[in-house]
Amino acid sequence: MKLYFSRNYNPRLAVAVARHLNSPVEFEFASPFAPGEREKFLKLNPNQSVPILVEGETTLWEADAIACRLSRLAKSDFWPTGDAMPDLIRWISWGYWNFVRACDMVHFERVTKQRYGLGPVRREVVDEGLSEFASSAAILDQHLANRDWLVGDAVTYADFRVACVLPFAELAGLPLADFPRVEAWHARLMKIPAWRDPFAGLDAPELPPVNARTK
């Protein structure tokens, strides 16, 4: 199996899952939008983006699907089945449309656009993202009041998925300190080597630096 990845947060998520599960994959850094790469990656993913898992003649794209496949291959409860699976799906779905979306709005304006010279920060978008971040982080904070992880008693893919932007939180200026349980939850995640540094030992060029931004 081969996993095509980059350092952006969804590919980072897929690499973290693979390394956490000790999956037997070959990691290959990819730049699908680089000159000369378009045709190759369109054949693997019609969206022309990573992560992509190639398994024999089969390709699988989207981080959630890749995490599910790797967990099944590992026979791991990292993607729980049975009675716990609806709760896992609940948090994956909620996280994507709420917490992750809010983080991404702020991250895109303050980090991605400034990293790649895509224009000035739109203050109104940042304000909307921070407002949605506050409301969804409050829900997470409440849920984590008497538990360490989102589903059950151990880390699962729900934790990785919902927290996928948090390694970039400081760079994006997300106010994690306003939500101490969420901050503590991510500190627990950062103790997991595969989450803290999924690219350790891999050929993975650093992302371009972020230029000065207006908050």
The yes-or-no verdict on residue 214 having pLDDT over 50 is no
16: number of Cβ within 10 Å? 26
Q: Which residues contact 39 (CB under 8 A, 6 or more apart)?
A: none
Percent of all residues in the chain with a pLDDT value above 70, rounded to a whole number: 98
13 and 97 in a single domain? The answer is no
59 and 92 in a single domain? The answer is no
- ∠55-26-61 over CA atoms, to 5°? 45
pLDDT in tens, 25-49: 999 999 998 899 999 999 999 999 9
Report yes or no on 86 lying in a domain: yes
Q: Cα(39)–Cα(36) distance, rounded to whole angstroms?
A: 7
- pLDDT the model gives residue 50: 97
What average pLDDT does this structure show over 96-112?
A: 97
Where among 56, 74, 92 does a domain terminate? 74
Closest CA to 163 of 31, 2, 20: 20
User: In what helix (H) or strand (E) does residue 4 lie, and over which residues does it extend?
Assistant: strand 2-5
Q: Report residue 211's pLDDT band, with 50, 70 and 90 as the boundaries.
A: confident
Q: Looking at residue 209, what DSSP letter applies?
A: P
Q: Cα(67)–Cα(16) distance, rounded to whole angstroms?
A: 9
- Within 13 A of 209's CA, how many CA atoms are on the CB side? 2
Structural domain including 57 reads 2-74
40 and 102 in a single domain? The answer is no
103 and 189 in a single domain? The answer is yes
- ∠169-172-178 over CA atoms, to 5°? 55
pTM of the model: 0.95
pLDDT in tens, 171-198: 999 999 999 999 999 999 999 999 999 9
Q: How many domains does the chain have?
A: 2
- pLDDT the model gives residue 212: 57
Helix (H, G, I), strand (E, B), or coil: what is residue 140? helix
What average pLDDT does this structure show over 133-157?
A: 97
13 and 68 in a single domain? The answer is yes
Q: Cα(164)–Cα(103) distance, rounded to whole angstroms?
A: 9
pLDDT in tens, 50-77: 999 999 999 999 999 999 999 999 999 9
